[in-house]
Structures are given as C-alpha cells and as structure tokens.
Amino acid sequence: MDTTFDMKKVKPETLKGQATYNQCEGLAKKFSYGLKGKEWGESYSRIRACLLNERAEGRLSFEKASDLFKKKKLPKVYTDKISAYLDIHSS
C-alpha cells in the first residue's frame, strides 16, 4: 500500500487555496519535534497560532504549506513573526 502524498493528484484550485487546519497542525508538530514538556507545548502552540493566522489572512496557501514539510527548520519569516508578537504582548 502506497501512502506517499502525491501533489500531482491535488486539484489546481486546491493548491492555490488556503492551507488546511491539519497542515498547520502537522507543521507545528514537525517544527516542535525533539523539544520536551513545557518547551514543546509553548513552541507547538506558538507555531500553530502563527501558521493559522497566516492561513486566515491568505498568506499561507495549500501548496506553500506542503513545501514547508520539506524544510528542516521553521523559516525565519515565521520565527520573526512569533518573536514580534511575543514582544508586543509581553508584560
């Protein structure tokens, strides 16, 4: 049984549409992998919130989210957005 995801089978309108909730969830888990306890929970929550916000504002497409699964690290653009958010909302 082949379980590999094939982008060629995805409709073009889906590729251009917004990322799915499950993609954002999976990416948050992927980029938080290896952390433990509270550190994992905070990282996961922050990354997921950032990606869901990008999705809601139309800046994270299905195709772009799929490409993020190929990365080893969360791209700097997202880490910068998370840092900026934390700076604004910290005490």
Is pTM beyond 0.75? Reply is yes
Question: Is 35 a domain residue?
Answer: yes
DSSP state of 73: S
pLDDT, tens digit, 9 for 90 and up, residues 45-82: 999 999 999 999 999 999 999 999 999 999 999 999 99
**Domain-located, residue 38:** yes
Residue at 74 is within a domain = yes
Q: Yes or no: say if 34 and 57 are a contact pair by the CB < 8 Å rule.
A: no
Q: Is residue 70 part of a domain?
A: yes
Q: Per the domain annotation, does 52 fall within a domain?
A: yes
User: Exposed e or buried b for every residue in 45-78, given b needs 16+ CB within 10 A?
Assistant: ebbbebbbebbeeeebbbebbbebeeeeebeeeb
Specify the amino acid at residue 32: S
Per the domain annotation, does 8 fall within a domain?
no
Q: Taking a C-beta distance cutoff of 8 angstroms, is the pair 69, 22 a contact?
A: no
Q: What is the DSSP letter of 72?
A: S
Q: Is residue 61 part of a domain?
A: yes
Here the tokens at position 68 are 């993020």
Give the domain extent around 36: 18-89
Please state the domain count of the chain: 1
Confidence band for 1, pLDDT divided at 50, 70 and 90: very low
Is residue 34 in some structural domain? yes
User: How large a percentage of the chain has pLDDT more than 90?
Assistant: 69
